[in-house]
Structure 1
Amino acid sequence: MEAALAELDLERKVRLLTGSGFWRTAAEPAIGLREMVLCDGPAGVRGERFDEREPSASLPCPTALAASWDEDLVERVGTLLAGEARRKGVDVVLGPTVNLQRSPYAGRHFECYSEDPLLSGRIGAALVRGVQSGGVAATVKHYTANDSETERYSVDVRMSERALHEVHLAAFEEIVRAGGVWALMAAYNSVDGVTMTESPLLDTPLRTEWGFDGLVVSDWFATRSTEGAGRAGLDLAMPGPGPDQPWGAALVAAVRDGRVPERAVDDKVRHLLLLASRVGALDGVRPTPPAPAPAPEPAALLREAAAAGIVLLRDTGTALPLDPGRVRRVAVLGPNADTPRIQGGGSATVIPPYTIGPLAGLRAALGPEVRVEHAVGARIRHRLPAVTEAEVRDPGSGARGLRVRFLGPDGTVLHEELRGGGRLLWLDDPIVAQAVAIEAAGVLEVGEDGPHRIGVAGVGRFRLAADDVVVVDEDLVTDDPLGGILTPPERWAELDLKAGQEVELRLRHEFALERPGTGFVLGVDPPAAHENEDLAHAVAVAADAEVAIVVVGSTEESDSEGRDRIHLSLPGRQDELIRRVAEVNPNTVVVLNSGSPVLLPWRSEVAAILVGWFPGQEFGAALADVLLGRVEPGGRLPVTWPAYEDDPAVLTTTPIAGRLDYTEGIHIGHRGWARAGATPAYPFGHGLGWTTWTHVGVETLPSGPDFVARVTVRNTGDRPGRHLIQAYLSRPDSTVERPVSWLASYTHATADPDTETTVDLHIPSRAFQHWEPGKGPQTEPGTYTLHIGTSSTNLPLTTPLTVPTPSLTTTPTQPAP
């Protein structure tokens, strides 16, 4: 690599530090460096094209993975991500996201693991190990305090030095030290007045203290300056090239003028070349690892992972598990029962090859002997839903889908293709670079009577006609550089249509030539006028069933990158649906298909509640496995679920005058709930299974600077089971401010019915440390209390742990691997 670096002049070195396109780095054939492809990957690897003809495996969202608390499983999921990346020609996966779930209002909550830094770090490190075992780089993001979406490009996050190091940097540190991550993404926001692409935190503690030797890449369009970012620890500015990129010739000039030292440029190139060597993009250097691990078969692993993250919040024992030999009529209700939300919105979105919904999964599992009836009950109406392949056909050939044509400056057709639906996106596509307009046409087959919303969402000039009616004819604009992709403006008109009617939709979209790509949503929303009839029908179906399973949730739009949530309630009339069904059927089971916590005002009125999160493409099969008792509901909450919006521990995501103060300090998540003395709906760590457990006893043993807690538990139920044992520390008489308690470790135990088992919990010395400004991590000697239990509020076992005063020759402790 040093020889390769020596061959490059300044201009060629600087050229390598900006992307060659939206997803690609620049190549340098003279030194054997090819382009590297970077792509979004928190819950599936999209690849360079967002195209239903090149689908991607849709994984459970990161919160669902963290709900498993199972690092071995998550590492195997990482190998699946690596296989998907290799299949799609991707060298660098842009994930995991380990920002903390500071507030349930955060729009990107589902894309993060947990409110707790320990759990986030351990789960994130496991995913990184799995991805990189396949010869693909993982990218931990977004460094740091990028915990909400409101004013995300410019917000200045302020917090104490202790909260920054002890809480918000802790998961990143674990993933660098224990995960050995090869890349890190610098966030959009500022911390303490400095934008993260120029932050000194990119050097200290990242490189100087943690030993990170990988590449630092900007979030897309996050590089703000030539000199500030050039002197800082940022290595690669993405995307590029383009008029808004501050490097290139400007950085060359800054080096020539002495405003940026050339050694800073050399270090950046070294980090890029090291990444290239690791993923096999640099000739003459064997990649790491030389023989990538084979990817597992997707369907079985995705089904296992989805089930492992499902959390059983409540169970009265009257409805579950379902017994196909005894139950004969099951109602499957709700807006997400047939068409679930398998993923959140934004850069985590992929197009899966298929989706198994709860209705299909239960029908397959229960078999023909059980009558399964379905009713929507309540519709969710937010943004305009894209027209589907089943709803439209090509006006010319009659084939299912939309006919899309790309037009050149003189109006000639450069290319045309048949597309499967109305959500279309092109980034770095050569045909878009040549075209000036796109036309899409399809014949809509109307399914029901009533007023339909027909329209378009996107950025640019749009003209949409439905038969002879012009629905949209205007320029749609946004000042958000990614707004045209994530949450574009939309326009629509309402047309009264009849079931069986055919309407020809014709859309023309004109776009700017200098854009890296374009896209739009051609959407049709069916009537909302039948809501009362829908609700009454669902209640009637529930009354006639032995068990009613109601699948409700949020949407890809309400849980999405680009904006925070405005409330925590289930959208539409879903709460009313649950209450009305529970009134007529005592065996009502609610399945929450949401990526983030929602309010559950009816939680004491139903027989059971499960959280399925955004569970990926195998949702229905995994849910059926759990509901029928074939597998345990493996999940435990990685985040506290509030009871009310105005609970004192529910934190805001709204900046004031561009500044967001983290006044909670180190008291985030379950720590904040304990400090406030507030009772949530369900606490951090909570979850039930198909058997019951008691905690018999605990003894502790020193293990170097660490401790081992030997915990004995008994399976008191009549089924074999798997149990999550959680360990927390407290020290109420501490001389420094501390949380009421904090998570120190966790592990799983398995046992047959009426059987005891003993497992060892590793309590690292790091768990006793606090951050002291000017000194770094410090350990206060003395007696701590170790608490063992099933959640942050249910800790039946306690034992003292005494941390000795360190001798003068003691080596400072480091985070446990």
Structure 2
Amino acid sequence: MTDLPEASALTLRQQVALLSGSDAWNTQPLPEAGVPSCALSDGPHGLRFQADAGDRLGVSGSEPSTCFPTAVTVASAWDEELAERIGHALAVEARAHGVDVVLGPGLNIKRHPLCGRNFEYFSEDPLLSGRLAAAMVNGLQRHGVGACLKHYAVNNQESHRYVVDAVVDERTLRELYLSGFEYAVKTSRPWTVMAAYNSVNGHPATQHRRLITGILREEWGFDGLVMSDWAATNDRVAAVAAGMDLEMPGSKGLFDREVLKAVASRRLPAELVTASAQRVLDLVARSARTRGPAIPVDEHDALARRAAAAGTVLLTNDGILPLAPGTRVALIGAFADQPRYQGSGSSLVNPTRISTARAEFARRGIEVAYAPGYDPNDSHADPDLIAEAVAAARSCDVAVVLAGLPPVYESEGFDRTDLGLPGQHDELVTAVCAANPRTVVALSNGAPVLMPWKDAPAAILESYLGGQAGGAALVDVLYGDAEPGGRLAETFPASLDDVAAEPYFPGEPRQVQYREGLYVGYRHDTTALFPFGHGLGYTTFDWSDVAAVRDTVTLTVTNTGTRAGSDVVQVYLHDRTGVVARPRRSLAGFAKVHLAAGQSTTVTIDVPERAYAFYDVVAREWRTPAGEFDLEIARSSADVVATVTVTVSDGVSTAAEPAGTPPIAVTDEQFRRRLGRPLPRPRSVRPFTRDSTLDEVATTQLGRLFKSALWRAAPIDEATRDNPVELAMYEHSLAELPLRAAAIFSGGKLRWRTIDLLLRLFNSFGRR
């Protein structure tokens, strides 16, 4: 659409009105100026479209859409073409519902395996995250639907996500937490980027001028729109000054008066308001705002099924898989009947259909001995269910145990408390393996788990969260109709002691310190339960003729087995120059290869110059050390097949780094050196401000009454009250919700004068 007015032709009030949504999911129209709205919708792994204004925390009432595997599963395929196909399918479904911008993908780094939202993110590695995110963005936008990269930036936990300040040194920020965003922005040019809830080094992400204007726009060349996460706006005057354009959801003009006054007093340059309003108009002009054809349900369900298999990781296998025809199977685990196929929270999709493993066995005419083994919702201790499962296992040739994390264990809104499976699941696997050593364990979970029984099963499949077709995909994999094509996109630690960030996660309610620096996941280089990049298959591959120059690795890959399959060639870089302290290895490139039995191909993997570079915090630029580097061609971060040494002669021989700082800054002084400034103090709870959380003000009697009133007024239907996962999300979100966000979510019912009056009253009360 090209006949929209320029922002400069609108009045200041009209420009300011454009900078906030009209409701939960639409931008503000200006009918008098001929400006329509455009529609936004959640959708990292499936469209969560609400036909009406929707509930603002976003967990109910959505239209049926294909529930694709979550990002953790898609990432495990290491397949950019597959990610782009899923992005294209999401765009088709968005057009079917009249949605113009899909809020995804999410590519925050998996700093710690206990983050409750890790299922929505790709990887612990920025290169893999950035490449897969870019592919998904391309799939969406080539079909005329905008993407929204989120959550920018350093958003790596759910605990106190609305108010926590992530304190991170500049080099770690650049090399780890911004690198994936940088790649996706430069490569796929997303229409929009979402600013996160949290603060970064003392500044809220929504009003972080250096992150939004200095880095995102000026350094990376981003020319799209920056919106807030839902109710993430702290101070809209400061946000507009920083370069954030759109406040979401609509707050019924909550901030408009402050913005107008700031322009009138010249605290906020009018041209910045005009620039943000123009970016909103540009987004509207890009948007189709029309409905496309209906969702091709069968086609997209088939794609979801292929993607689920492609992202399934075969962790161990003594040869039992694929199962031979005619094998008598004991199917154990309630997830076979009530599958755990997606995460909980704002990404929750209302699927077009659901396949289950038990139903797929029946569809194939395979009779199984079924035993639930556990309650699928809370998995409380029940020895009778285990005894029943043991009896079924003994009666059959093979036992297939579906275990994992029940929905209440991981969700948006709160973090996990430990790495373990429910005790009932561990006891079930142990007992069934003892009864029948020919046991296959298939896991359904959104993040790493411990496996104290690791050596007991004949095979372990990590199915992750496979989407609506995950049950059928699992049976496809079990019988070899589809290959488990996945490789881990994250490290499975042997214990929390092996996670470098563990002592610092999730930090204090108001501050989390990233003292582990660059040593996240496989970069920490400890012994893992299963390493980053690990995964087996149903055929064998030989790698030969390995050669490398500075920017390219080539090799011949041959399928030496008797069936078609896929392999992932990973290239890691080991800096031997000693110019700057770095992790032992970092991913520099990769390639997914599909080959028929006996087929060979030459694989070429680009090694970008950035792989060699580090961010020099003094020079404020990327620099490459001079000296020798090893390019390690590997099957995982712990399984190097070949090494080629290359020499860089045109790099730098020195770097100005803080002296005496070890890889992990254990002491305050070490972290201060790395930061290059004094350690910031967390914000004090008192006096209360608009940024105070409901739990904080609830330390007063009046605050407790106010919190109770908001809970009673929350848009929670009976279905949500009966759902322990959604209820837990609401409870955690409400407890940690700042007053400013409560005002935004109120849809105009709470104005600043009411909030400020309450604050005066809260501050007049002592702790009670």
Q: Same fold (TM over 0.5)?
A: yes
CA–CA distance in structure 1, aligned partners of residues 509 and 112 of structure 2: 19
Partner of 1:17: 19
Partner of 1:216: 226
CA–CA distance in structure 2, aligned partners of residues 280 and 198 of structure 1: 30
Amino acid at match of 1:710: T
Partner of 2:45: 43
Asked if the contact 1:79–1:294 (Cα under 8 Å) also holds between the matched residues in 2, the reply is no
Matches for 1:394-413 after TM superposition, within 5 Å = none
Partner of 1:457: none
Counterpart selection for 2:571 from 727, 730, 733 = 727
Partner of 1:345: 344
CA–CA distance in structure 2, aligned partners of residues 53 and 733 of structure 1: 54
1:123 correspondence with 2:138: no
CA–CA distance in structure 1, aligned partners of residues 60 and 499 of structure 2: 44
Partner of 1:695: 543
Counterpart selection for 2:415 from 552, 564, 573 = 564
Partner of 1:630: 481
CA–CA distance in structure 2, aligned partners of residues 344 and 53 of structure 1: 15
Following superposition, the deviation at residue 793 of structure 1 comes to: 0.6
Partner of 1:788: 633
Partner of 2:699: none
| 1:18-46 Cα shifts (integer Å, max 9, x gaps) | 11111111101244321111111111111
Partner of 1:321: 322
CA–CA distance in structure 2, aligned partners of residues 582 and 88 of structure 1: 47
Per the normalisation by structure 2, the TM-score is: 0.80
CA–CA distance in structure 2, aligned partners of residues 661 and 53 of structure 1: 37
Partner of 2:154: 145
Asked if the contact 2:477–2:484 (Cα under 8 Å) also holds between the matched residues in 1, the reply is yes
Following superposition, the deviation at residue 57 of structure 1 comes to: 1.0
Asked if the contact 2:167–2:511 (Cα under 8 Å) also holds between the matched residues in 1, the reply is yes
CA–CA distance in structure 2, aligned partners of residues 728 and 646 of structure 1: 25
Asked if the contact 2:7–2:275 (Cα under 8 Å) also holds between the matched residues in 1, the reply is no
CA distance 1:222–1:802, shift in 2 (3 Å): same
Asked if the contact 2:127–2:588 (Cα under 8 Å) also holds between the matched residues in 1, the reply is yes
Asked if the contact 2:225–2:279 (Cα under 8 Å) also holds between the matched residues in 1, the reply is yes
Matches for 1:373-388 after TM superposition, within 5 Å = 373-382=369-378
1:666 correspondence with 2:668: no
Counterpart selection for 1:743 from 553, 564, 587 = 587
CA distance 1:764–1:314, shift in 2 (3 Å): same
1:251 correspondence with 2:259: yes
Partner of 1:686: 534
Following superposition, the deviation at residue 273 of structure 1 comes to: 1.3
Asked if the contact 2:93–2:295 (Cα under 8 Å) also holds between the matched residues in 1, the reply is no
Amino acid at match of 2:536: L
SS of alignment partner, residue 714 of structure 1: strand
Asked if the contact 1:337–1:359 (Cα under 8 Å) also holds between the matched residues in 2, the reply is yes
SS of alignment partner, residue 44 of structure 1: coil
Which structure has greater helix proportion?
2
Counterpart selection for 1:587 from 438, 455, 458 = 438
CA–CA distance in structure 2, aligned partners of residues 775 and 594 of structure 1: 40
Following superposition, the deviation at residue 53 of structure 1 comes to: 8.0
Matches for 1:517-536 after TM superposition, within 5 Å = 531-536=382-387
CA–CA distance in structure 2, aligned partners of residues 650 and 694 of structure 1: 37
Counterpart selection for 1:308 from 310, 315, 324 = 310
Amino acid at match of 1:344: G
1:233 correspondence with 2:81: no
CA–CA distance in structure 2, aligned partners of residues 753 and 53 of structure 1: 44
Q: Indicate the larger mover: 143-152 or 622-631.
A: 622-631
Matches for 1:169-180 after TM superposition, within 5 Å = 169-180=178-189
CA–CA distance in structure 2, aligned partners of residues 322 and 96 of structure 1: 36
Matches for 1:397-796 after TM superposition, within 5 Å = 531-649=382-500, 651=502, 652-656=504-508, 658-672=510-524, 674=525, 678-701=526-549, 707-773=551-617, 774-796=619-641
SS of alignment partner, residue 307 of structure 1: helix
Matches for 1:181-200 after TM superposition, within 5 Å = 181-200=190-209
Asked if the contact 1:750–1:757 (Cα under 8 Å) also holds between the matched residues in 2, the reply is no
CA–CA distance in structure 2, aligned partners of residues 729 and 547 of structure 1: 42
CA–CA distance in structure 1, aligned partners of residues 225 and 61 of structure 2: 31
CA distance 1:162–1:295, shift in 2 (3 Å): farther
Q: Indicate the larger mover: 1-10 or 141-150.
A: 1-10
Following superposition, the deviation at residue 646 of structure 1 comes to: 2.5
CA distance 1:136–1:657, shift in 2 (3 Å): closer
CA–CA distance in structure 2, aligned partners of residues 219 and 53 of structure 1: 19
Following superposition, the deviation at residue 357 of structure 1 comes to: 1.3
Partner of 2:358: 359
Asked if the contact 2:573–2:630 (Cα under 8 Å) also holds between the matched residues in 1, the reply is yes
Partner of 1:372: 368
Per the normalisation by structure 1, the TM-score is: 0.76
Following superposition, the deviation at residue 754 of structure 1 comes to: 4.6
CA distance 1:380–1:572, shift in 2 (3 Å): farther
Partner of 1:428: none
CA–CA distance in structure 2, aligned partners of residues 84 and 720 of structure 1: 32
1:299 correspondence with 2:301: yes
CA–CA distance in structure 1, aligned partners of residues 406 and 294 of structure 2: 37
Partner of 1:66: 75
CA–CA distance in structure 2, aligned partners of residues 266 and 295 of structure 1: 43
SS of alignment partner, residue 38 of structure 2: coil
CA–CA distance in structure 2, aligned partners of residues 94 and 616 of structure 1: 18
CA–CA distance in structure 2, aligned partners of residues 789 and 697 of structure 1: 14
Amino acid at match of 2:520: I
CA–CA distance in structure 2, aligned partners of residues 123 and 614 of structure 1: 17
Unpaired stretches in structure 1, ≥5 consecutive residues: 384-527, 808-817
Q: How many residue pairs end up in the alignment?
A: 640
CA–CA distance in structure 2, aligned partners of residues 690 and 182 of structure 1: 40
CA–CA distance in structure 1, aligned partners of residues 244 and 8 of structure 2: 21
Amino acid at match of 1:711: L
CA–CA distance in structure 1, aligned partners of residues 64 and 295 of structure 2: 22
Counterpart selection for 1:84 from 93, 107, 111 = 93
CA–CA distance in structure 2, aligned partners of residues 292 and 204 of structure 1: 42
Asked if the contact 1:135–1:292 (Cα under 8 Å) also holds between the matched residues in 2, the reply is no
CA distance 1:272–1:302, shift in 2 (3 Å): same
SS of alignment partner, residue 790 of structure 1: strand
Asked if the contact 1:143–1:184 (Cα under 8 Å) also holds between the matched residues in 2, the reply is yes
CA distance 1:3–1:22, shift in 2 (3 Å): closer
Q: What is the root-mean-square deviation in Å for CA atoms of aligned residues? A: 2.3
Following superposition, the deviation at residue 3 of structure 1 comes to: 4.5
Partner of 2:659: none
Asked if the contact 1:184–1:217 (Cα under 8 Å) also holds between the matched residues in 2, the reply is yes
CA–CA distance in structure 1, aligned partners of residues 499 and 15 of structure 2: 52
Counterpart selection for 1:158 from 154, 158, 167 = 167
Following superposition, the deviation at residue 667 of structure 1 comes to: 1.8
CA–CA distance in structure 1, aligned partners of residues 295 and 376 of structure 2: 42
SS of alignment partner, residue 488 of structure 2: coil
Asked if the contact 2:561–2:597 (Cα under 8 Å) also holds between the matched residues in 1, the reply is yes
Identity of aligned residues (%): 42
Amino acid at match of 2:191: W
Asked if the contact 1:64–1:614 (Cα under 8 Å) also holds between the matched residues in 2, the reply is yes
